[in-house]
Amino acid sequence: MAVPDPVPETLLEAARGLDATARGVLLERYRNYLRLMARSISDGPLRARLDPSDIVQEAFLKAHREFDGFAGRTEPELVAWLRQILVRTMADQAKHHRRQGRDPRRQQSLEAALDRSSAAIHRALTAPLTTPSSHLQRRERAVLLADALEKLPPDYREVFILRSLEHIPVEEIAARMGRSANAVYKLWFRAMASLKGELEGLS
Least Cα distance to 121 among 107, 106, 140 occurs for 140
Q: Note the pLDDT of residue 42.
A: 63
Residue 77 domain flag: yes
Rounded-to-integer distance, Cα 126 and Cα 3, Å: 19
Instruction: Please calculate the CA angle 68-70-76 and round it to the nearest 5 degrees.
Output: 150
Q: For 99-138, how does the pLDDT look when each residue is reduced to its tens digit (9 = 90+)?
A: 554 455 555 565 666 566 555 665 655 555 444 454 444 4
Q: Note the pLDDT of residue 131.
A: 47
Residue 2 domain flag: no
pLDDT band at residue 3 under the 50/70/90 scheme: very low
Domain region containing 98: 9-200
Residue 4 domain flag: no
178: left (phi over 0), alpha (psi -120 to 50) or beta: left
What is the reported pTM? 0.76
Residue 52 domain flag: yes
Residue 3 domain flag: no
Residue 114 domain flag: yes
Q: Is the pLDDT confidence value at 186 over 70?
A: yes
Instruction: Please calculate the CA angle 77-111-113 and round it to the nearest 5 degrees.
Output: 120
Residue 104 domain flag: yes
Q: Is the pLDDT confidence value at 1 over 50?
A: no
Query: How many structural domains is the chain composed of?
Result: 1
